[in-house]
Chain A
Amino acid sequence: MRLTAVWTGLSSESSTTRLTERLIDAAVASARTNGIDPVVTRINLRRLATGLVNMTVTPTPDPELEEAFEAVQQADAVITATPIYKTAPVGIHMLFWQLVDEGALAATPVLLASTGGTPRHSLAAENTLRPMLGYLKGLVIPTSVFAATDDWGDPEDATRLTRRIETAAAELMAWASGSVGGGVRADKTADPLDPAGVTPFEQILEQR
């Protein structure tokens, strides 16, 4: 199983990075209880910020960005986490999902997570990222995770956050290892330029 985490951790003490690592750990632990050892790919969009902007103004993806898109395309499960700025996910996080190929998430379970300064930001990702990931045909799991600054300090809040992380991670792994989406996920990972898998021209002629 391939688990890809795409997050935007902007500072060296980024709470979004921290939350992502907690989610990865919980997902891996959950999978292992079922005898699965996921291969984890980590993509912090901070490193790809320039490439994302460049690809917005030219059609050319830079090689690192191409690798990141490929890791999403090949994923069986995705974790995505973003800081919330002014009631919306930070711009470069949105850009990544705006530039990735359509269908890149087809039948792929996605765990949505976000961080913010105060609990008032808690539903921002629900209103922006969830529909977008849905448009990309991702199966966004019902449980999302939001962590405000307080959640890292107050022991009671921290316990609640931990429980939510574990619930969401277990849900993600259950969907990823189950038969949700059927063969769609297999189609997603097929190479469209593989000569062996190309649609024969007679068929293209008939379909028009």
Chain B
Amino acid sequence: MDIGIFTIGDVTVDPTTGHAPSEHERIQNTVTIARHAEQAGLDVFATGQHHNPPFVAPANPPILMAHLAAMTDSIRLSTATTLITTTDPVRIAEDYSYVQHLSLGRVDLMLGRGNTGPVYPWFGKDIRAGIPLAVENYALLHRLWREESVDWNGRYRTPLQDFTATPRPLDDVAPFVWHGSIRSPEIAEQAAYYGDGFFHNNIFWPMSHTARMVNLYRQRFEHYGHGAAHQAFVGLGGQVFMRRTSQDAVREFRPYFDNAPVYGHGPSLEEFTAQTPLTVGTPEQVIERTLSFQEWAGDYQRQLFLIDHAGLPLKTVLEQIDMLGEDVAPALRKEFDARRPADVPDAPTHEWLVERHRAGKDPAPGGRPGSPAVNEREGE
């Protein structure tokens, strides 16, 4: 079970002090946060990709990942998300392979379509083609990592003839891919088709909705014959704020919540806590709430928490990481591992992927002969 943190690199004024971090400060803080996460024993640090203020997540996440790879030894570096719509898949293939080599395989990525329309034209893309871009670009990316010579003719980029993405992935194994989507059945279907992971960033969503998205992915994963539904690779988001007493946590977090750019001046902290995974309280409350996710999402492999947003000062963020590392992660790993049946895979690592590859058990896009999907196609 991966327990980690993800950041969108928002530059937000601290509503309690009026302090506005500079971009430089926020970028340096992000590095400190990632290193601290490793020291606290967390499994994953994931960075967003952003091209617009008020965010300073890297425009190309491998720049930050490469830096972090040099400064850390064990933590896995991921993204939340890599924009598959507006980033050339050739660049994704080459940059992430490179950072995979630098980090000795500590890299995976989560693909997303992005959350602001104007990004599309900045990169010469059409916002109306969000899903088709995600579909075509990943179809190419998947091949670039697996085939030495690629001929390609698609709708959204120049054709390729006998093209080799360089460098080749470490040990000839592509980084593990999570497909992130909130509402689009097409993306859950895409994750299932390739036998990749599905990540639902549920931080704004009621669990009833997240459960339906996860179920769709699981059922289709089984349909494509990559394993049984309960063996699919699921990741979830969450956001927490912790103190030793829940009263202290609520009192300290409330001004950040009330003024946060994404949900401030809307629902109350109490309403939002009831409706979404947001948990403001003690580490024990966070543990209890997070364990309950397994009851509707099934046994899942990755849990990422958002903890550095809404203008929270660095010191506070590092304290959150300490509590995640000392209290939350050990308890979650222990209980989730105990609940997980032996036939459900743990969180994928590079070593696990290499072993699977050498055993000839890489998932075949669309399923192997004998899978329900292939039987259905042949029956037609």
A in complex with B? yes
Interface residues of A (CB under 8 A from B): 53-54, 56-63, 66, 192-195, 198-202, 204-205, 207-208
Given known contacts A54-B267, A204-B135, A208-B135, A60 and B219 CB-to-CB distance under 8 angstroms? no
Least CB distance, B128 to chain A, in whole angstroms: 12
Residue of A nearest to B129 (CB): A208
Q: In the complex, which residues of chain B have a beta carbon less than 8 angstroms from the beta carbon of A199?
A: 185-186, 189
Whether A58 lies near B263 (C-beta < 8 A) is: yes
Are A201 and B215 neighbours in the complex by a CB distance under 8 Å?
Answer: no
Which residue from chain A places its CB closest to the CB of B187 in the assembled complex? A204
Known contacts A60-B206, A195-B223; decide if A204 and B189 are in contact (CB<8 Å): yes
User: Is A193 a contact of B267 with CB atoms below 8 Å?
Assistant: no
Known: A58-B262, A204-B186. A66 touches B212 (CB 8 A): no
The answer to whether A60 and B135 touch across the interface, beta carbons within 8 angstroms, is: no
State which size class the interface on B falls in: 35 or more
Chain B nearest CB, measured from A48 CB (Å): 13
Could you jot down 14 A-B contacts, CB within 8 Å?
Answer: A54-B267, A57-B266, A60-B204, A60-B263, A62-B271, A62-B275, A193-B185, A195-B220, A198-B185, A198-B188, A198-B216, A204-B131, A204-B135, A208-B135
Known: A58-B204, A60-B263. 9 other contacts (CB 8 A): A59-B204, A63-B275, A193-B213, A194-B216, A195-B216, A195-B223, A198-B216, A204-B189, A205-B135
Contact A200 B189 (CB under 8 A): yes
A72 vs B353: C-alpha distance when bound (angstroms): 47
* In the assembled complex, B55 has its CB within 8 A of some CB on chain A: no
Which 8 pairs between the two chains have the least Cβ-Cβ distance?
Answer: A195-B219, A208-B132, A201-B193, A57-B266, A58-B263, A54-B267, A58-B266, A54-B266
Instruction: Give the residues in chain A near B276, CB-CB below 8 Å.
Output: 60
Would A60 and B205 be within 8 Å (CB), given that A198-B185, A202-B366 are in contact?
yes
Cβ of B265 < 8 Å from any Cβ of A?
yes
Q: Which residues in B have their C-beta under 8 angstroms from that of A58?
A: 204, 262-263, 266-267, 272
On chain B, the residues within 8 Å of A198 by CB distance are 185, 188-189, 216, 220
Q: Once bound together, how far apart are the Cα atoms of A59 and B203, in whole Å?
A: 10
Q: Which residue of A lies closest to B192 (CB)?
A: A201
Report if A53-B216 is in contact (Cβ < 8 Å); known contacts: A63-B206, A208-B155. Answer: no
Chain B hits for A57, CB < 8 A:
263-266
Contact assessment for B272 and A60 in the assembled complex, using a CB-CB cutoff below 8 Å: yes
B interface list, Cβ under 8 A from A? 129, 131-132, 135-136, 139, 155, 185-186, 188-190, 192-193, 204-206, 212-213, 215-216, 219-220, 223, 262-267, 271-272, 275-276, 366, 373, 377
Residues of B within 8 A of A200 (CB): 189, 373
Question: Least Cβ distance of B68 to chain A in Å?
Answer: 30
Residues of A within 8 A of B129 (CB): 208
Give bound CA distance, A193 to B139, whole Å: 23
Shortest CB distance A138–B (Å): 22
- Given A193-B216, A202-B366, CB of A60 within 8 Å of CB of B275: yes
Name the CB-closest residue of B to A55. Answer: B266
- Chain B residues with Cβ under 8 A from A56's Cβ? 266
Known: A195-B216, A208-B135. A54 touches B185 (CB 8 A): no
Contact B206 A53 (CB under 8 A): no
- Which of A53, A61, A193, A204 sits near B212, CB closer than 8 Å? A193
Cβ-defined contact, B266 with A53, below 8 A: yes
Which of B185, B186, B206, B271 has the most C-beta atoms of chain A within 10 angstroms of its own C-beta?
A: B185
Once bound together, how far apart are the Cα atoms of A202 and B193, in whole Å? 9
Smallest CB separation, A26 vs chain B (Å): 36
Q: Please name all residues of chain A whose beta carbon is closer than 8 Å to the beta carbon of B193 when the two chains form the complex.
A: 201
User: In whole angstroms, what is the CA distance A5 to B272 when docked?
Assistant: 28
In the complex, which residues of chain A have a beta carbon less than 8 angstroms from the beta carbon of B265? 57
* Complex Cα gap A62–B135 (Å): 32
A148 → B minimal CB distance (Å): 36
Contact A204 B219 (CB under 8 A): no
Interface centre among B216, B219, B262, B276 (most CB of A within 10 A): B216
Chain A residues positioned under 8 Å from B223 (CB to CB)? 195
A201 and B189 within 8 A (CB): yes
Q: A193-B212, A198-B220 are in contact. Are A205 and B272 (CB under 8 A)?
A: no
State in angstroms the CA–CA spacing of A198 and B216 once bound together.
8
Evaluate contact between A201 and B190: CB separation under 8 angstroms.
yes
CB distance from A65 to the nearest CB of B (A): 10
Assembly CA distance A207 to B264 (angstroms) = 40
Chain B hits for A61, CB < 8 A: 206
Residue among A61, A193, A200 having the largest count of chain B Cβ atoms under 10 Å: A193
In the bound complex, CA of A81 to CA of B264 (Å): 31
Residue of A60, A66, A194, A205 near B139 (CB, 8 A) is A205
Query: Do B366 and A201 have beta carbons less than 8 Å apart?
Result: yes
Please give me the residue from chain B that is nearest to A194 by CB atom. B216
CB-defined contacts of B264 to chain A, threshold 8 Å: 57
Residue ID in chain B nearest A53 by CB atoms? B266
Q: Please give me the residue from chain A that is nearest to B221 by CB atom.
A: A195
In the assembled complex, the CB of B84 is this many whole angstroms from the nearest CB of chain A, namely 13
